[in-house]
Amino acid sequence: MELPKVDVKKILYATDLSENARYAFAYAVSLADLYKASITFIHVLSEIPDLLDKNVIGYISEERWEEIKSQNVTEAREAIIGKRRDHLAIKDALHQFSENLKESREGEGFVTDDIIVVRGNPVEEILKYCEEKNCDLIVMGTHGHGTLADVMMGSTARRVLRRSTKPVLVVRLPEEES
């Protein structure tokens, strides 16, 4: 029996900017180095579904809900990128992260093909850009704990894995680091 040749030239690295995503990035870089592949970063700013908005407004006023959402977006933005604006700032931060890593890793060069920051459904956007960029592999992290954020990330990874026509490497954060 002859095995098919595995040829990875473009890797889509999906990140939620978490520690686990950084851990998964090590795998993306290692594979890029091994196959001499380029990496496209994607970060999706998920939107809160209208149904959730309607449900929450049943408990608190619409004005208060908008205030809470705005406050959380501002806090997240400040934590990640230091008070700069939305997509471009996250894109700049990912670019700087990529450049810093390239400089710090001797002999393990990789090419950053593109950095994509979009708003939408994470699963849909990851799959869409995987096809648009003609990527050969998706690399992303997952957690495996019980918190809501972990369940959502795990859910995203599972749905990407289930729906992708390309291979998906899902990297779990080791227990001692989680």
Q: Measured in whole angstroms, how far is the alpha carbon of residue 109 from the centre of its chain?
A: 21
Cα 92 from Cα 89, distance rounded (Å): 5
pLDDT at 81: 47
Q: Measured in whole angstroms, how far is the alpha carbon of residue 83 from the centre of its chain?
A: 21
Q: In this structure, what token pair is assigned to residue 89?
A: 């700032």
Using DSSP's 3-state secondary structure scheme, residue 50 falls into helix
Tokens 């594979």 sit at which residue? 31
pLDDT at 22: 81
For the full predicted model, state whether its pTM sits above 0.85.
Answer: no
Percent of the chain beyond pLDDT 70?
63
Write the pLDDT tens digit of every residue in 6-50: 999 999 999 888 777 888 998 999 999 999 999 999 988 876 555
Write the pLDDT tens digit of every residue in 63-77: 776 777 666 655 555
14-49 burial: b if 16+ Cβ within 10 Å, else e: bbbbeebbebbbebbbebbeebebbbbbbbbbeeee
Write the pLDDT tens digit of every residue in 88-139: 667 777 777 777 767 665 445 678 889 888 888 899 999 999 999 999 999 9
